[in-house]
Amino acid sequence: GAGVSQTPSNKVTEKGKYVELRCDPISGHTALYWYRQSLGQGPEFLIYFQGTGAADDSGLPNDRFFAVRPEGSVSTLKIQRTERGDSAVYLCASSLIASGGVNEQFFGPGTRLTVL
């Protein structure tokens, strides 16, 4: 079946603008994760959802970042008043469940965000 998909693949915006990044997880996966990968670094955790609720948002850097998953499937990461330091690849991953047992995280291709 289809893997995790993310749109857009690339997003260029200007400092101060608002952006939305979308993630479509694998069908049936209840857990969904957002990571951010800056140049030369490994992915860094932002937030994860179990169903519709954000189970852990401890990685969100500040209140400009917000994510939703209203129906427990598609998720949107929203960034307000973008700054140049927000430029990175934003990765989404999903897993069947969030804890114990089979919990391999399957990653999407990422959205490359560039803030000018």
Partner 1 sequence: AQRVTQPEKLLSVFKGAPVELKCNYSYSGSPELFWYVQYSRQRLQLLLRHISRESIKGFTADLNKGETSFHLKKPFAQEEDSAMYYCALRDLEYGNKLVFGAGTILRVKS
Burial grade of 39 (CB within 10 A; 0-12, 13-18, 19 or more): exposed
**Interacting residue with partner 1 among 91, 111, 113, 115 (CB under 8 A):** 91
User: Min. distance of Cβ 11 from partner 1 in angstroms?
Assistant: 18
Least CB distance to partner 1 at residue 62 (A): 18
CB neighbour list of residue 80: distance below 8 Å, 6 or more residues apart = 18, 64, 65, 66
CB nearer to partner 1: pick between 59 and 74? 59
45 binds partner 1 (CB under 8 A): yes
How many helices (H) and strands (E) the chain has is answered by 0, 11
Residues from 95 through 114 that contact partner 1 (CB under 8 A): 95, 98-99, 103-110
Question: Residue 88: which of 36, 53, 19, 40 has the closest Cα?
Answer: 36
Q: Does 59 bind partner 1 (CB under 8 A)?
A: yes
d(CA 85, CA 74): 26
- Token readout for 27 is 């069908």
Q: Interface with partner 1 by CB under 8 A: which range of 15-23, 38-46, 63-71, 72-80?
A: 38-46
Residues that bind partner 1 (CB under 8 A): 3-4, 31, 33, 35, 40-45, 48, 50, 55-56, 58-59, 91, 95, 98-99, 103-110
